[in-house]
Structure 1
Amino acid sequence: MCGWDQPSGAHGVPTTLDSVSGERPPGAATATTPPREILRHPAFAYFWGATTIRAFGGAIAGVAFQVLVVTVVNATPMQISVLSALGVVPYLFLGLIVGALMDRWRRQRTLVLTTIGRALTLAAIPVLLLLDALDFRSLAAVVLVLGVLTLFGDSASQPLLPRIVPQRSLVMANARLGQSQTVAETTGPALGGALFTLVGAPTLFAFDAVINLIAAGLQARIRVDEPKPRPRPAGRHVGHDIADGIRYTYRHPTLRPLALSVHVWFLGNSIVTTVFAVFVLRQLALPTWAYGVALAIGGAGGFVGAMIAPRVGSGLGAGRAILLGRVLVAVPWLVLALAPLTADSGVAAILGVVATAQFLYCLAMGIEDTNDISYRQSVAPDAIQGRMNSTIRTVNRVVFLFGALLAGPLMTLLGFQLTIGIGAGVFVVAALVIALSPLRDARHEGAPD
Structure 2
Amino acid sequence: MDDDADPAWAVDPAPAVVARPREVLRQPAFALFWSASTVRALGSAISGVAFNVLIVSVLHASAAQISVLSALSVVPYLFLGLVVGALMDRRRRQRTLVLTSVGRALALAAIPVLILTGALTFWTVATVTLVLGVLVLFADSAAQPLLPRLVPRESLILANARLGQSDTVAGTAGPALGGALLTLLGTPLLFAFDAVLTAVSAVLQSRIRVDEPAPASRAPGRHIGHDIAEGMRYTYRHRTLRPLALSIHTWFLGNSIVTTVFAVFVLRQLRLQPWEYGLALAFGGVGGFLGALLAPRVGARLGAGRAIFVARALVVVPWLALAVAPVGAGGGTALVALVASAQFVYCLAMGVEDPNDTGYRQSVAPDAIQGRMNSTIRTVNRVVFFVGALVAGVLATCFGYRITIGIGAAIFAAAALIVVFSPLFAARHGDRL
Cα offset, 1:343, TM superposition: 3.5
Q: Distance in 1 between matches of 2:285 and 2:2?
A: 38
Q: 1:218-251 CA distances to partner (integer Å, 9 max, x unpaired)?
A: 0011110001132211100000000000000000
Q: Greater CA deviation, 349-358 or 227-236?
A: 227-236
Cα offset, 1:24, TM superposition: 3.2
Aligned to 2:3: 13
- The residue identity in structure 1 corresponding to 2:18 is A
Q: Distance in 2 between matches of 1:43 and 1:52?
A: 14
Q: Distance in 1 between matches of 2:263 and 2:5?
A: 45
Measured on the aligned residues, the alpha-carbon RMSD in Å equals 1.4
Q: 1:257-310 CA distances to partner (integer Å, 9 max, x unpaired)?
A: 000000000000000000100000111221111111100000000000000000
Aligned to 1:8: none
CA contact (8 A) 2:364 2:430 kept: yes
Q: Does residue 382 of structure 2 align to residue 392 of structure 1?
A: no
Instruction: Return the match for 1:241 from 227, 232, 237.
Output: 227
Q: Distance in 1 between matches of 2:60 and 2:5?
A: 52
Q: Does residue 49 of structure 2 align to residue 60 of structure 1?
A: no
Q: Does residue 414 of structure 2 align to residue 414 of structure 1?
A: no
Q: Does residue 367 of structure 2 align to residue 367 of structure 1?
A: no
Quick one: percent identity of the two aligned structures?
Answer: 67
- The residue identity in structure 1 corresponding to 2:11 is G
Q: Does residue 60 of structure 2 align to residue 74 of structure 1?
A: yes
Instruction: Return the match for 1:23 from 12, 16, 32.
Output: 12
Alignment of 1:223-262 (within 5 A): 223-262=209-248
State the secondary structure of the residue aligned to 1:20.
Answer: helix
Instruction: Return the match for 1:382 from 360, 367, 374.
Output: 367
Alignment of 1:55-204 (within 5 A): 55-204=41-190
Alignment of 1:305-324 (within 5 A): 305-324=291-310
CA 1:128–1:268 in structure 2 vs 1: closer, same or farther (change >3 Å)? same
Where structure 1 has 5 or more consecutive residues not aligned to the other structure, the ranges are 1-10
Q: How many residues align?
A: 432
CA contact (8 A) 2:162 2:292 kept: yes
Cα offset, 1:347, TM superposition: 2.5
Q: Distance in 2 between matches of 1:29 and 1:43?
A: 19
State the secondary structure of the residue aligned to 2:129.
Answer: helix
CA contact (8 A) 2:273 2:331 kept: no
Aligned to 2:426: 441
Q: Distance in 1 between matches of 2:9 and 2:161?
A: 28
Aligned to 1:350: 335
Give the alignment's TM-score, normalised by structure 2: 0.98
Cα offset, 1:16, TM superposition: 8.1
Aligned to 2:261: 275
State the secondary structure of the residue aligned to 2:286.
Answer: helix
Q: Distance in 2 between matches of 1:297 and 1:60?
A: 19
Aligned to 2:276: 290
Cα offset, 1:29, TM superposition: 4.3
Q: 1:27-58 CA distances to partner (integer Å, 9 max, x unpaired)?
A: x34325x4211100000000000000100000
Q: 1:68-103 CA distances to partner (integer Å, 9 max, x unpaired)?
A: 010111111111111011001001110000000000
Q: Distance in 1 between matches of 2:395 and 2:21?
A: 49
Where structure 2 has 5 or more consecutive residues not aligned to the other structure, the ranges are none
Q: Distance in 1 between matches of 2:10 and 2:246?
A: 24
- The residue identity in structure 2 corresponding to 1:359 is F
- The residue identity in structure 2 corresponding to 1:332 is P
Deviating 4+ runs (over 6 angstroms): none
